[in-house]
Structure 1
Amino acid sequence: MEKRDVLFISDRTGLTAESYGKSLLSQFPGIEFESRLYPFVDSKERAREVAREINHIVEETGKQPIVVSTLVESESQRVIANSKGCIVDLFGVFIEPLEECLGVESSHKQGISFDPHSHELYQKKIKAIEYALKHDDGCDLANYDDADVILVGVSRSGKTPTSLFLAMNFSLKTANYPLTSDDLEGHKLPSFLLPHTRKMVALTIRPATLSNIRQQRRPSTEYASLQTCQRELRIADTMFKNANIPVFDTTDTSIEEIAGWIVREKRLRDVTELGIGH
Structure 2
Amino acid sequence: MAAENEAHSVFFISDGTGITAETLGNTLLTQFPEQRFVRATIPFVNSVDYARSVVRHIDSLSVTQPTPLVFSTVVSDEIRAELLKSKALVIDLLGEHTHKLEQTLHANASHSPGRAHGQGDLERYNTRMHAVEFAIEHDDGQSLRALDRADVILIAPSRCGKTPTTMYLALQHGVFVANYPLIHEDFLTQDLPAPLTGLTGKCFGLLSNPQRLSEIRSQRRPNSKYASIEQCRFELRNAEEMYLRYEIPFVNSANKSIEEMSSVILHSMSLKK
Normalised by the length of structure 1, the TM-score is 0.91
How many Å separate the matches in 2 of 1:220 and 1:63? 40
Deviation at 1:195, TM superposition (A): 1.5
> Judging changes above 3 Å, is the alpha-carbon distance between structure 1 residues 219 and 257 closer, same or farther for their aligned structure 2 residues?
same
**In structure 2, what is the equivalent of residue 105 of structure 1?**
108
Q: Structure 1: which amino acid aligns with 2:203?
A: M
How many Å separate the matches in 2 of 1:259 and 1:4? 28
Q: Structure 2: which amino acid aligns with 1:30?
A: E
Deviation at 1:216, TM superposition (A): 1.5
Deviation at 1:30, TM superposition (A): 1.8
Deviation at 1:45, TM superposition (A): 2.1
> Judging changes above 3 Å, is the alpha-carbon distance between structure 1 residues 263 and 46 closer, same or farther for their aligned structure 2 residues?
same
* CA RMSD between the two structures: 1.7
Q: Are positions 1:88 and 2:91 aligned together?
A: yes
**In structure 1, what is the equivalent of residue 262 of structure 2?**
259
User: More displaced, 89-98 or 75-84?
Assistant: 89-98
How many Å separate the matches in 1 of 2:234 and 2:117? 47
How many Å separate the matches in 2 of 1:187 and 1:114? 42
> Judging changes above 3 Å, is the alpha-carbon distance between structure 1 residues 140 and 116 closer, same or farther for their aligned structure 2 residues?
closer
How many Å separate the matches in 2 of 1:241 and 1:72? 49
Q: Are positions 1:141 and 2:144 aligned together?
A: yes
Aligned length: 268
How many Å separate the matches in 2 of 1:93 and 1:205? 40
Q: Are positions 1:29 and 2:43 aligned together?
A: no
Q: Are positions 1:208 and 2:211 aligned together?
A: yes
Q: How many percent identity over aligned positions?
A: 40
**Which segments of 5 or more consecutive residues in structure 1 lack a partner in the other structure?**
271-278
Q: For residue 41 of structure 2, give the secondary structure of its aligned residue in structure 1.
A: strand
How many Å separate the matches in 2 of 1:114 and 1:88? 20
Q: For residue 231 of structure 1, give the secondary structure of its aligned residue in structure 2.
A: helix
Q: Are positions 1:3 and 2:7 aligned together?
A: yes
Deviation at 1:132, TM superposition (A): 0.8
**In structure 2, what is the equivalent of residue 234 of structure 1?**
237
Kept after mapping to 1: 8 A contact 2:48/2:78: yes
> Judging changes above 3 Å, is the alpha-carbon distance between structure 1 residues 251 and 62 closer, same or farther for their aligned structure 2 residues?
closer
Deviation at 1:259, TM superposition (A): 0.7
Deviation at 1:4, TM superposition (A): 1.0
How many Å separate the matches in 1 of 2:118 and 2:185? 49
Deviation at 1:226, TM superposition (A): 1.2
Deviation at 1:179, TM superposition (A): 0.2
Equivalent residue in structure 2 for 1:46, among 41, 47, 50? 50
**In structure 1, what is the equivalent of residue 164 of structure 2?**
161
How many Å separate the matches in 2 of 1:160 and 1:205? 14
Q: Are positions 1:177 and 2:201 aligned together?
A: no
Q: Are positions 1:20 and 2:24 aligned together?
A: yes
How many Å separate the matches in 2 of 1:129 and 1:28? 32
Deviation at 1:2, TM superposition (A): 2.6
Normalised by the length of structure 2, the TM-score is 0.92
- What do the CA deviations read for 1:190-249 (whole angstroms, capped 9, x no partner)? 121021111111111111111111122111111111111111111111111111111111
Kindly indicate which of the two structures has a greater share of residues assigned to helix: 1
